[in-house]
Amino acid sequence: MKAGPDIARIAALLGDPARANMMTALTHGQALTAGELAREANVTPQTASTHLAKLTEGGLLTQRRQGRHAYFALAGEDVAELLESLMGLADRAGHSRTRPGPKEPALRRARVCYDHLAGELGVGLLESLVAAGRIEDRDGALSLTPDGAGFMRGLGIEPDGLVRGRRPLCKACLDWSVRRSHLAGGLGKALLDRIYENGWARRLEGSRVVAFSAPGLAAFSRAFGLAEAA
């Protein structure tokens, strides 16, 4: 037997279509009940419980109880990044499960990836921060510069307060639709939270789509030096 991490087990857990649908539904960062995930996977509650037990035992999901309900969430940001990378590979290889629907352009434009901004606007955000010297990119390893720290404080974000546990402050996450990186980590979450708090955008209910209003998009573009897009 080969020594080292067993990627075959992870692949087997994600390889079942019902489990893949459940995992994808959780990439928006919210915890869902077993019943909600059963509907996402189009399986019975009993079948969903079996799948969720396997995913939890395999370290891909966490479970917490609140009252009579059990809620499931991705086990961490690294799981979300893995799913994002797999979606990018599937998209590049032409493996689409359904025909593109009306939400497809909106998902590619701006969406939630776990708890940070992804899509064209998420990639543009990171690239503008790098171009302005606020984030340094050394072959994919990101770090906040002193100028960037001052810029974030001007937005009302205290970088020193974002470093908790093992989660990095800045991390590159490969975007499945743009195939370049967007900003993850504690700073990525803080920036998306600030976008919501400023009223520039909101997440559409039951979707990963982050919908910017016209004034919000203009304000977002001005704040980060992006070329404003319609």
Give the pLDDT confidence of 21-71 residue by residue, as tens digits.
Answer: 999 889 877 889 999 999 989 999 999 999 999 999 999 999 998 878 889
* Record: fold of 7-75: Arc Repressor Mutant, subunit A (1.10.10)
The pair of structure tokens assigned to 156 is: 């009302």
Q: pTM above the 0.85 mark?
A: no
Helices (H), the chain: 7-15, 17-25, 34-41, 45-57, 77-92, 104-109, 120-131, 146-154, 185-197, 214-224
Compute φ and ψ for 145, nearest 5 degrees: -85, 165
Model pLDDT, residue 65: 87
Q: Is the pLDDT of residue 165 over 70?
A: no
Rounded CA separation 218/228 (Å): 6
213/196 Cα distance (integer angstroms): 11
Residue spans in the chain of domains classed CATH 1.10.10.10: 7-75
Quote the pLDDT of residue 99: 47
Residues with Cβ within 8 Å of 162's Cβ and at least 6 positions away in sequence, in order, are 169, 186, 187, 189, 190
Structural contact between residues 36 and 45, judged by C-beta atoms closer than 8 angstroms: no
- The pLDDT > 90 percentage for the chain reads 63
The rounded mean pLDDT for the chain is 89
pLDDT in tens, 167-217: 899 999 988 888 899 999 999 999 999 999 999 999 998 788 999 999 999
